[in-house]
Amino acid sequence: MIHLPVLEITGRNIGAFSKTNGSMPVSRSFFRLLVLLAAVAYAAVWTTGYLRGLIEILALPMLLAAIFARPLPVGRLLLQLGSVLALLQAIAGRGGSTPGVVLLLQFAGLVMFLQLLVVDCLRAAHGVIILSLMIILAVAAMNVNFVFPLVLIPYVLAFYLVLRSLTVLRHQAMAKSPIKLSNRNPLSWHRIAVGTIVSVLIFGFLWLVMFYLIPRTTSFGIASEVSRRKLKGFSDTMRLGEPGLLEDNPAVIMRVKPLEEKTLTPSALRRIGNKLLRGATFAWYNAGRWEKGTKRRWYIDLRQSSGELRLNRGHYSPRDLHQIELVLENLDPPVIFQPDRAINMRFTQPFIAYEDDLSFYFLFRPGTTRRYVASVLLDPLEPEDSPLSEVELNDETSPYLHEKGIPPRVQALARAMVTEEMTVLGRVERVMRFLRSQFEYSLVQKDLAGVDPVEDFLFGSKEGSCEHYASAMVLILRAMGVPARPVGGYSMGEWNDIGGFYTIRQGHAHAWVEVYFPRSGWIPFDPTPPVMFTGPESDFGRLLQTLWNAYEGYWFSYVYSFDNKAQGLGFRRILEALSENLASLRSYLFSPALWLFIVVIVLFAYFGKNRIARINRPDRWIPDWYLDWADSCSVQRCEWETPAEYHRRLLLLGVIDSEQREKLDRLVELVDLTAFSNTSNRSEISAVAQELIAELSKSTALNSPRS
C-alpha cells in the first residue's frame, strides 16, 4: 500500500500553480515510482529479444546511482555525454543485424535512465514519463513476443500510480492557504484496482489498434531471430545421443488444431493423438551417425494448384477425411512436419521444397510462424504382406538395403532371428517383439568411448532412447534384406481442452521406422515402448499449465503470425463489409425515427447530466440545497470535505464572519437530519435550511478569502 495524503486545499489559485509547476521538488516516494516506471518500460524492450551489452552494463549502475545518490552533482554532464554516446552507438549499429527500430528503442531507454540522474523537480520527471510512454507504444506496435502483455500490466499500474501522484502534487501547488493533511488515502487498493483495470483496457485497446492497423513491414516481428528454435536431428545428419533431439525440453515446437466438429469426438481425438508427425529420414549409417541419402532439393510451385499439395492419388470420401491445422513456431531448419496418412496439405506459401524421401521444407522467411492444413485419415494403414522375394533393388529401395556400417554382431543377430519362409511383415513383427520385450527406455546418455551405440544397446546396456530402438530395428531389418529407414519427428503431444489443440514440445521429439512393402509402399512402425509424458503433479499445476498453453496458442495463432498478408486480407474484408452495408446505412441515416431518437437522447443527456454527476459523486449523501449553496460561495467545497470541515475552512479564511458560527452549526444539523434521520418531513427541513441560508446571506457578505 502506497500512502500519499489527500490534500484539503484551502484555496485554489491557478497563477500559483503556473509558477510552481515544474519547479516543485520530487518526493522520495514519487521518485521511486519513476524508477519503477522506467525499469518496467525497459523490460518491454527486453521482450523484443535484443539487449545490447553496452546498455545492459550501463543501465544497472545508473539505476543504482539514481536510487542512492540522486541527483548526482555531475548528472547533467553524464546526461549529455551519455546521450551522445548512445546516439553514436545506435548509428554504428545500423549496419548489423539489429533492426533500426530496436536501436532507437535502446537509445531511448538509455537516455531515460540517464534522465533519472538529474530528476530533482517535476519538469525533469516529465521527461522520464514521456520517454517511457514512447518506448511502450513503439514496442506495442511491433513486438510479437507473448511475454509483452505480461510486462504491459505492471507498466500500466506504475503509470497509473505516477499520474495519481502528479494529481496530488498539482493540488498542492494550487493551494494558496495553509494545507491540512487528511487521513484519507487516494491510492487505496480499491482505487488502484479500478484505475489499473481501466488503464489496462485503454492501453490494450490502443495497442490492438496500433498493432493491427500500422502497415506490416519486414522490420516487424522483432522478436523473431532470438526466438528461433534450433532443431537438431532434422538437418543432413543425426547422431545417436545428440542433445537436442531427445532432451526433456518443454519448449513448444508446434500446435495441432482439429478444424471440424466430427474430429472433436473422444474416439477421433484418441486416434489423432496416436499419430506421428514425420520430419526427416536418413539412409547411411556409420558408428552412431546417420546421414541423408541425398542432399538435393527440388521446388514445387503451389500456385498452379491453389496451394494444395496432393500426397495420395487415391479417392476418399470427404466423410473419412479430417482437417487439422498445424501451426509451427519459427524453426530451423524449416521442416514441414507431415502427419501419417495425410492425403493432402494446403499452404499459403507459393513455393516449398522437397527431397527424394518426400521430406518437405518451407523456404526460409525470418520472423514468421508457419501454418498449413492437412487432410488425414484417422486409422493407420495396414500393409499388404508379401514374400521377401518381391523386394526389388531399385532407386527407391537401394539406399535403404545396403549393409555397409552394420556391425558384424548385429548381422549375426539378424540371421539368428529369421527363417527363409518369413514374409516381410513377419520379419518386422519379429523384430518389434524382440525390441519391446528385452530392452528398457532411457534418456540417459553414456560416454561409449568408441563403441558403436547400436551395438552397445543390443548387447551391452540394453537400454536407450527411441533413436536407439529405431536405429537397431533399421539395421536388423536391413541385415534381413528388408528396406528400412529411421524417421525423426514428433509424437502428437498433449491435448489442451481450453484451447482445443495439441501442444507439441521439444520433449515430444521421437524417432521411429519406415519399412518398405512392395505392395503398399513405406509404412511407419514404432518399436519404442509407450512412455508417459510427465507434467505437473497437482491438479492446480495442470490447470495453470493448460491455461498458459492456451494463452500461448492464441497468441502465436492470432498475433505472432499476423503479417502484411493477413493485414491486407483483414482490410479487404472490412472494406467489403462496409460497401455491402452502405446502402442500408444510408436508408437509416435518412430515417425520421432515427433523428427523433437522437434528439430525445441529447435532451435527456443535457437535462440529466447534473443529476447524474451528483449521483456519482462521493458526497451524494449531502442534500442538493446544501450543494447549491456551497457552489455559490467564493471558495468551493472539496468533494471529500464534510459540511463541518467546510465551515471550519470558511471561517479560517474569513469568507464568513465568526459571529455566524451558530448558524453554520445549525446548517450542519439540518444536513445530518436530511441524510440520516427517518423523518418524512424532509421538505420542511429544506424550507428551514433555505431560510437559514437567506439569513446568512443578509447578515454578512460572503468575502473573498484572505491572502
Choose the weakest-confidence range: 264-268, 288-292, 529-533: 529-533
Tell me, what's the pLDDT at 424? 92
Summarize pLDDT for 405-428 with one digit per residue, the tens.
888 999 999 999 988 889 999 999
CA distance linking residue 303 with residue 350, whole number of Å: 6
Q: What percent of the chain has pLDDT over 70?
A: 65
For helices 75-92 and 100-116, the axis angle rounded to 10 degrees is 170
Cα within 13 Å of Cα(285), Cβ side: 30
Average pLDDT, the chain: 75
CA distance linking residue 46 with residue 52, whole number of Å: 10
178 vs 564, more confident: 564
DSSP letter for 705, please: P
Mean pLDDT of the region 1-22: 43
Q: Is the dihedral of CA 525, 530, 536, 542 positive or negative?
A: positive
When mean pLDDT is compared over 47-56, 139-148, 684-693, 697-706, the highest value belongs to 684-693
Closest CA to 428 of 383, 460, 396, 378: 383
Burial 372-386 (b: 16+ CB within 10 A, else e): bbbbbbbeeeebeee
pLDDT band at 58 (very low <50, low <70, confident <90, very high): low
| Residue keyed to cell 445530518 | 672
Q: Check whether 535 has a pLDDT greater than 60.
A: no
Choose the weakest-confidence range: 25-39, 126-140, 541-555: 541-555
Q: What is the DSSP string of 586-650?
A: HHHHT-HHHHHHHHHHHHHHHHHHHHHHHHHSTTTTS-HHHHHHHHHSSSPPPTT--HHHHHHHH
Q: Check whether 45 has a pLDDT greater than 60.
A: yes
When mean pLDDT is compared over 156-160, 428-432, 554-558, the highest value belongs to 428-432
Contact criterion met (CB below 8 Å) for 152 and 52: no
Mean pLDDT of the region 566-585: 64
| Set of cell numbers at residue 645 | 470541515
Tell me, what's the pLDDT at 449? 73
Q: Check whether 485 has a pLDDT greater than 70.
A: yes
223 vs 656, more confident: 656
What residues are paired with 351 via a beta bridge?
301
| Set of cell numbers at residue 552 | 500461448
583 vs 45, more confident: 45
What residues are paired with 484 via a beta bridge?
515
Question: Amino acid letter at 359?
Answer: S
Summarize pLDDT for 596-642 with one digit per residue, the tens.
878 888 887 776 665 555 555 555 778 888 888 888 887 888 877 88
Q: Check whether 15 has a pLDDT greater than 90.
A: no
Closest CA to 401 of 429, 430, 424: 424
Degrees, nearest 5: CA angle 660-665-671:
130
Q: Is the pTM of this model over 0.85?
A: no
Q: Check whether 70 has a pLDDT greater than 80.
A: no
Q: Check whether 402 has a pLDDT greater than 90.
A: no
| Set of cell numbers at residue 176 | 494558496
CA distance linking residue 308 with residue 528, whole number of Å: 33
Summarize pLDDT for 446-461 with one digit per residue, the tens.
766 778 888 888 988 8
When mean pLDDT is compared over 115-124, 328-337, 400-409, 610-619, the highest value belongs to 400-409
618 vs 164, more confident: 164
Q: Check whether 39 has a pLDDT greater than 50.
A: yes
Closest CA to 503 of 547, 440, 437: 547
Mean pLDDT of the region 518-528: 91
Q: Check whether 25 has a pLDDT greater than 80.
A: no
Choose the weakest-confidence range: 309-323, 414-428, 515-529: 309-323
Tell me, what's the pLDDT at 494? 84
Tell me, what's the pLDDT at 434? 93
Q: Check whether 181 has a pLDDT greater than 80.
A: no
Q: Where does 654-681 have alpha helices with state H?
A: 661-676
DSSP letter for 210, please: H
Choose the weakest-confidence range: 174-188, 272-286, 684-698: 174-188
Summarize pLDDT for 86-96 with one digit per residue, the tens.
666 666 666 55
Choose the weakest-confidence range: 37-41, 122-126, 204-208, 556-560: 556-560
206 Cβ contact partners less than 8 Å away, ≥ 6 residues apart: 137, 140
Q: Check whether 583 has a pLDDT greater than 80.
A: no
10 vs 399, more confident: 399
Tell me, what's the pLDDT at 590? 66
Choose the weakest-confidence range: 52-61, 305-314, 396-405: 52-61
Summarize pLDDT for 122-138 with one digit per residue, the tens.
777 888 888 888 888 77
